Amino acid sequence: MNDNQIKLDMDAKSENASLARVVTAGFLTPYDVTIGDITDIKTAVSEAVTNAIIHGYAGTYGVVTMEISIKERHLTIKISDHGVGIEDIETAKEPLFTTKPDMERSGLGFTVMESFMDTVEIKSNLGVGTTVTMTRKLSPAEVNPE
């Protein structure tokens, strides 16, 4: 399968987290990827997009950009916003840390991303926005011998 890339800009609305999941699954379908890999990657994407919506824009209008690329079975996904930014990335990555406890946020978004992807890199500037770049080497789907 050839290398490929897509870019999607979406309004920072909670319903678009599910759109990002569907687009990700659709993008991966031709690449002979296991269902487990697709599920893991969709979950990581959902967490990153939800973080951008909930924390990046905090209820104000904004756009979340998702870029997906694949080259030689190395998947890269970038989720970007132009929101408030993250003051302290290391603190934000701590399990159970949340800036939105009133919204019953669990504080596990970055932990989930890191558990399902090979690498997660976070770049953020206050008042400018945040970009989360996640990578994963795709394993081929298992073939059941008959």
For 28, the token pair is: 């991966």
2, 16, 21, 47: which is the annotated catalytic residue? 47
Ordered strands of the 4-11 beta sheet = 4-11, 63-71, 74-81, 129-137, 119-125
Our answer to whether residue 16 is catalytic in this structure is no
16, 21, 51, 136: which is the annotated catalytic residue? 51
Our answer to whether residue 105 is catalytic in this structure is yes
Measured from the Cβ of residue 39, the count of other Cβ atoms closer than 10 Å reads 13
Our answer to whether residue 73 is catalytic in this structure is no
21, 105, 121, 142: which is the annotated catalytic residue? 105
Active site residues: 47, 51, 105
